[in-house]
Amino acid sequence: MHPTLIYLYIHDIDRCLKQEEFTFTNDFVINYEYGNRSLKIKKNENNPYIGMWGGNISNINLIVGKNGSGKSTVLDLLGSNRHKYDYDSKWFAIFHNVGNRFTIEGQFPGLIKEVESARLASNTHEVYNVQLYINFESLRLSVTTRSNSPAENQDIQFLY
């Protein structure tokens, strides 16, 4: 199974969207609090949409809005046009890999307390490989770094 986009948080990208959250799943309940930089992901045991579209479609998401509301900005940020945004941009996206394993990508690791701690512990400006695990019973998040060089690891789990 491929990683599935489940959440996007845009703190500031010098465009129309500021401190906006987008949830792209009903499989998880995701809570991010900017004030204390905490991220909680909980499995949604009461997802009413499981099996609704048959066995080949697991999820459908729409991005709708008026002209200028940020639809293209979101798609650019998630797609290949990230070069439009400067280094002061602050955002992150969460992808579900399998089980309790997730991948986070974005800009400015300080948005999430545990990720910033991993970056400081690695003694680098960028963390290239961080695995994020969620214990769904205690809702605890753990971050593990394995390498600071993308060349050393082809299975990159975190890109900032």
CA dihedral (34, 11, 139, 122) in degrees, to 10, reads -100
pLDDT at position 136: 67
Question: How many percent of the chain have pLDDT more than 70?
Answer: 66
- Inform me whether the pLDDT recorded for 82 exceeds 80: no
**Band of pLDDT at residue 97, cut at 50, 70 and 90:** confident
Backbone angles phi, psi at 142, to 5 degrees: -125, 145
Main-chain phi, psi angles of 75, to 5 degrees: -65, -40
Domain edges within the chain: 4-159
Q: What mean pLDDT is reported for the chain?
A: 75
